[in-house]
Structure 1
Amino acid sequence: MCGICCSVSFSAEHFSKDLKEDLLYNLKRRGPNSGKQLVKSDVDYQCLFSGHVLHLRGILTVQPMEDERGNVFLWNGEVFSGIKVEAEENDTQIMFNKLCASENESDILSLFSEVQGPWSFIYYQASSHYLWFGRDFFGRRSLLWHFSNMGKNFCLSSVGTQTSGVANQWQEVPASGIFKIDLKSTAISGCVILKLYPWKYISEENVMEKYVNSLTQISAELPTFVSVVANEARLYLENPIVPLNMMLPEAEVEMQCKNNSSISPTRDTFKVFLTDQHMKKVVQQFIDVLSIAVKRRVLYLARDKNLAPKEVLQTSNRKANVAILFSGGIDSMVIATLADRHIPIDEPIDLLNVAFMTKEKNKPTSFQEERSKTKYLCEVLSEGVSNNDDSSYNVPDRITGRAGLKELQTVNPSRIWNFIEINVSLEELQKLRRTQICHLVQPLGTVLDDSIGCAVWFASRGIGWLVTQDDVKSYQSSAKVILTGIGADEQLAGYSRHRIRFQTLGLEGLNKEIAMELGRISSRNLGRDDRVIGDHGKEARFPFLDENVVSFLNALPIWEKANLTLPRGIGEKLLLRLAAVELGLTASAVLPKRAMQFGSRIAKMEKNNEKASDKCGRLHIS
């Protein structure tokens, strides 16, 4: 993971040898292991490249990279599949070698079509004066652009900055494909023309018109001297996932989904589903593909291979290489269980559980009442509440987190599970939002972005209390890789709006909602989360958004993924719940969806009368 930036000037009076101090500071936080700047000048323009590397695999490769022909490459990505990268190799070097060997545009597009994994990049092609850049299909890595001085300057960067009293000018580069700018012609014309090479399904028609039309609104928000156009050759990137299966069931299948409201959310209920051999096979296939995705994300990092056998056994002093954003909910529980399969047994796993101080004394029964039918679940959760804690941090996610820890300890008692209680006061929240977090959440700016951005920032920072049976001590997670469950709700109908859409428009409406969710995840979630987690010199990894996992889920008919005629705690994310039961999980398999901003109680700390979609003034520097 890296902080990458390219500042381009078309006027000699704006040429510079350094980035602005605040932007450089934010980039350095993303890449603490190496930093370098490189200037490439032409008669008509100057490019200032800045690269800051978080070293995770292979040999530490300093960025920006430059070859003998003057080509320059900045890469913020991970090649998990598609392109062969040996364990001891660095994917930045592999990608740059292949780019430099590309003879034409088609070769470049073929290369990025093959890569499986998250990425954003900037590539300067010296001989043609082209600047290529873009994000992966899901937008799992942040990239922003900023145009200024009537076309005399523009900047591409992993993260932006805010200036007091100045409207934010940074925008997220759309994850619509790869863009190319002809720097020479831009310098002459004074107009910035962004040529788009969009993602396309092989069978899809009119893709160029669709994407250019979708960028009309973005173009309207850009300065008048910036335009987005289709590339003349009508070239495209091959979509890395299969299209969503929009099939609707036959009448008798739909009838089987009726009159299910009386079913109780218990583990035995899921056992009945698993007596269907077809469903059991689908569940196992899902477990297999998700397990491979988790494996790739926990093994692609450097580990200490020089420990003597006696040292290996002394696990109490070992540091975790992998952490999980952990609420004890179904998404994080399944990820933790699968990570346990692949991470060396002598290596701890950090479970990062964040809670924001509540003024009123927490009442665990208040969130259990909504599932009063589930007596078994209530008993498990109440057992997880410690008697000697500050009750102001006993928020719902803390209680389910502790219960989830007990389940994981039962699944594998040999593993050291570091449950990190991260407690955030109102004073600390307001101070760090103002000094740091607001720069990262921007250019997004709603109340929801504020709540989730702050919660994820504090959780991924990993500073809290390590709570064991015998002791409580301060702890800071050293894990460079953080796994998160984002993508499960979007694909498996986990949100309440999915249930509302199903109730009003049926399965056809639900299919369209899921397609829309996946289509907007780059602009709604992932750039923000990458900026927030990356600010700690850590890398976010998203197993549910692995290309093979998404393709597997996209290929299934909707009724094999969710059944929203069933009650909460069963119907939403049904496939994932069945997988959890097969993996040996218990109470967590029937936990209803609870959004992070409510489970961590950050949404209750300040103004309670706000809507999630409202603009959040707290994110702006006045």
Structure 2
Amino acid sequence: MCGILLHYSATDDFSANKFKLTDGETSKHRNLTLDVNYQIESSGIISPTFANIAPKVYDRGTDFCFYKALKHVEMFSSVLSLRHPLTRQPYTEKNSRFILQFNGELYNEEIQPEENDVQFAHKLLQENDGDVIKTVHYLDGEFAYSITDVEDHKIYFGKDVLGRKSLLYGLSEDNSELYVTSCLPDNASLLKQYTFHECKPAVVYVYDTKLKHLSEIEQQSSSEDNFHVNADWESNTSRTEEHVNHILDSLQNSLEESIRKRIFTVFPVQKAKANYAILFSGGIDCTLLAAFCALLSIKSDLSPKIDLLNVSFSNLRAGTDPSQTPDRKLAVKSWKHLQAKYPSVQFNLIEINITYETYLEHKARITSLMYPKDTVMDLSIAAAFYFASSGYGNIVNPDGSRTSYTSDCKVLLSGLGADELFGGYTRHERVFTGISNQRKRNLKNKPQKDTTHYDVEKDLVPKLRDELQHDLSNLYIRNMARDDRVISCWSKEVRYPYLDMQFVRFSSEKVPLDLKLHYDDASGEITRKYALRLLASKIGLDWVAGEPKRAVQFGARSAKMEMGSSHVKGTDKA
């Protein structure tokens, strides 16, 4: 995982600038606060915007950082090394026309054990004769990048098909100046100088430095083309148990493979106390991840330590203590069951308790990191992930006592994507609420308030399918870039097993719609994420299979933290 910062200026000459820290020296300065004006021996041309952003980029990867200057292009990269060997960035090779900045992880099978992601991407680019579109399309993983072609005078940048990493760009009014960055400046006046946009997924942006023109080229397939949500729907009685079990077996295999790729490719420079961590509410999505991590480790004859990071807030407005939040209670319950079910695996439950004062102390930083997202709801969600990923909390001991503990895992697993893929939101359930209410009133012999005729297959199924397709196609806008920025500021990387390309494709195309949002016509009951609940029961996680969905901001009580905010809407500006 890395931080990317690139600045092009048609009028400035950066070629005299030198970085003071020599190769590898940053490994001795893990706690340094990077002062760009000090670290770069400057000829006087250091943009205030560049200087403001660089420390945030450094926070994303504290194993290595480097500044590289060409005549009109300056780049700053930070590196969190999670795959051998530690590879410096910006990356290039002798006689190569390309300079790469790469953030993320690749899971292509051809990557050799001694080969780093950025080395593989550069080699592939050379093999494809500099065809950036073809190269990016072939990469399998969660990533963002910038590629500077010094011969063709072009700068390419973009994200993977789902947009799982943060990358933004900003242009000056006359198009003579370009920024490509993982983070934004926290200075309002600097933000106004450029129009910053979050990069769209499945798009390769091309900036021609000769023409001062930015163009967008769609990859060979977009997320909607790649992942077409099927509309297969059958009633309760027509789908056989054998067919359902076959689907669940395939679903389990696909999810296990996704998790395997993400937990067996973790080789940090500094060995952590645990192998990796899971952002853990105790709910079905993250508990499934924890269980499959355990199963995979047992199959591989490993006895790992896994940190379960659970965050809860002292919410003065709601009058709640962290120990009493819904997520904390469920996390403790799920942790105890996991320990009993998989005794050879050490699950460390880390309780991260956030006081109101601590929240206020960090609020400005969270608000800056999540921008351009700026609503009350964004803040409440971002705050939960920000503090959870910090790892600062108390470990729950077997005897129930608590000891101060810091999780230093560099890789975090997130359950993001499960709700979008399997119908986990209220808006999905709402599609069937009308017909559900009618059925329940019929069973109770109550007169109908709603006399609408609902046709399940002609009206409701297509509507549900469209909702799920829209959610999948717009994931990058709603969640991932924001979450990436607030998590990565701790020099940690978040990985999304539910958003693995192969798993998303299988879930979209092969899992029937009625196994995602299940409607029982006999009782009128609606069950969200039905397939995941069946899968949980299948592997013995019955205690969590029936747990209702809670949004993180409500489960952790990070929503509406401040007094007098009870009537504030989630869409209001934070």
Task: Name the TM tier (shorter chain).
Answer: 0.7 to 0.9
Are the counterparts in 2 of residues 569 and 590 from structure 1 also a CA contact under 8 Å?
A: no
- One-letter amino acid matched to 1:498: H
C-alpha change, 1:74 and 1:280, in structure 2 (3 Å) is same
Aligned pair partner of 1:610 in 546, 568, 571 = 568
Aligned pair partner of 2:548 in 568, 584, 592 = 592
Offset, 1:185: 1.6
C-alpha change, 1:103 and 1:523, in structure 2 (3 Å) is same
- One-letter amino acid matched to 1:571: T
Offset, 1:33: 0.4
Aligned to 2:68: 38
C-alpha change, 1:360 and 1:109, in structure 2 (3 Å) is closer
Match of 1:602, SS state, is coil
C-alpha change, 1:124 and 1:411, in structure 2 (3 Å) is same
Q: Give, in whole Å, the separation in 2 of the partners of 1:240 and 1:347.
A: 39
Are the counterparts in 2 of residues 570 and 590 from structure 1 also a CA contact under 8 Å?
A: no
Q: Give, in whole Å, the separation in 2 of the partners of 1:361 and 1:401.
A: 20
Offset, 1:240: 8.3
Offset, 1:193: 2.7
C-alpha change, 1:501 and 1:61, in structure 2 (3 Å) is same
Aligned to 2:180: 156
Aligned to 1:231: none
Aligned to 1:77: 104
Q: Give, in whole Å, the separation in 1 of the partners of 2:138 and 2:97.
A: 25
Are the counterparts in 1 of residues 519 and 525 from structure 2 also a CA contact under 8 Å?
A: no
Match of 1:196, SS state, is strand
| Counterpart mapping for 1:237-276 below 5 A | 241-247=226-232, 249=233, 253-254=234-235, 256=237, 276=241
Are the counterparts in 1 of residues 99 and 148 from structure 2 also a CA contact under 8 Å?
A: yes
Q: Give, in whole Å, the separation in 2 of the partners of 1:289 and 1:69.
A: 38
Q: Give, in whole Å, the separation in 2 of the partners of 1:543 and 1:127.
A: 38
C-alpha change, 1:148 and 1:393, in structure 2 (3 Å) is farther
Task: Please give the per-residue CA displacement for 1:532-556, whole angstroms capped at 9, x wherever unaligned.
Answer: 1111111100000001111111113
Are the counterparts in 2 of residues 160 and 442 from structure 1 also a CA contact under 8 Å?
A: yes
Match of 1:359, SS state, is coil
Confirm or deny that 1:182 pairs with 2:203: no
Aligned to 2:11: 11
Aligned to 1:281: 246
Q: Give, in whole Å, the separation in 2 of the partners of 1:150 and 1:304.
A: 43
The root-mean-square deviation of aligned C-alpha atoms, in Å, is: 2.6
Unaligned runs of 5+ in 2: 16-44, 435-458
C-alpha change, 1:55 and 1:587, in structure 2 (3 Å) is same
Aligned pair partner of 2:305 in 348, 351, 355 = 348
Aligned to 1:601: 557
Aligned to 1:230: none
| Counterpart mapping for 1:552-571 below 5 A | 552-556=506-510, 557-565=512-520, 571=527
Task: Please give the per-residue CA displacement for 1:315-369, whole angstroms capped at 9, x wherever unaligned.
Answer: xxx7112100001100000000011123464321000000000338978xxxxxx
Q: Give, in whole Å, the separation in 2 of the partners of 1:443 and 1:305.
A: 33
- One-letter amino acid matched to 1:548: Q
Q: Give, in whole Å, the separation in 2 of the partners of 1:164 and 1:141.
A: 23
Are the counterparts in 2 of residues 177 and 199 from structure 1 also a CA contact under 8 Å?
A: no
Q: Give, in whole Å, the separation in 2 of the partners of 1:198 and 1:25.
A: 32
Confirm or deny that 1:528 pairs with 2:474: no
- One-letter amino acid matched to 2:253: D
Aligned pair partner of 2:218 in 179, 197, 209 = 197
Match of 2:477, SS state, is helix
Are the counterparts in 1 of residues 274 and 409 from structure 2 also a CA contact under 8 Å?
A: yes
Q: Give, in whole Å, the separation in 1 of the partners of 2:303 and 2:129.
A: 47
Are the counterparts in 1 of residues 224 and 473 from structure 2 also a CA contact under 8 Å?
A: no
TM-score of the pair, normalised by structure 1: 0.77
Offset, 1:104: 5.1
Are the counterparts in 1 of residues 133 and 219 from structure 2 also a CA contact under 8 Å?
A: no
| Counterpart mapping for 1:433-582 below 5 A | 433-434=363-364, 436-470=365-399, 471-503=401-433, 505-556=459-510, 557-565=512-520, 571-582=527-538
Confirm or deny that 1:173 pairs with 2:199: yes
Match of 2:210, SS state, is helix
Confirm or deny that 1:99 pairs with 2:28: no
TM-score of the pair, normalised by structure 2: 0.83
C-alpha change, 1:156 and 1:167, in structure 2 (3 Å) is closer
- One-letter amino acid matched to 2:556: S
Offset, 1:243: 2.1
Confirm or deny that 1:335 pairs with 2:362: no
Are the counterparts in 1 of residues 520 and 526 from structure 2 also a CA contact under 8 Å?
A: no
Are the counterparts in 1 of residues 81 and 268 from structure 2 also a CA contact under 8 Å?
A: no
Confirm or deny that 1:143 pairs with 2:171: no
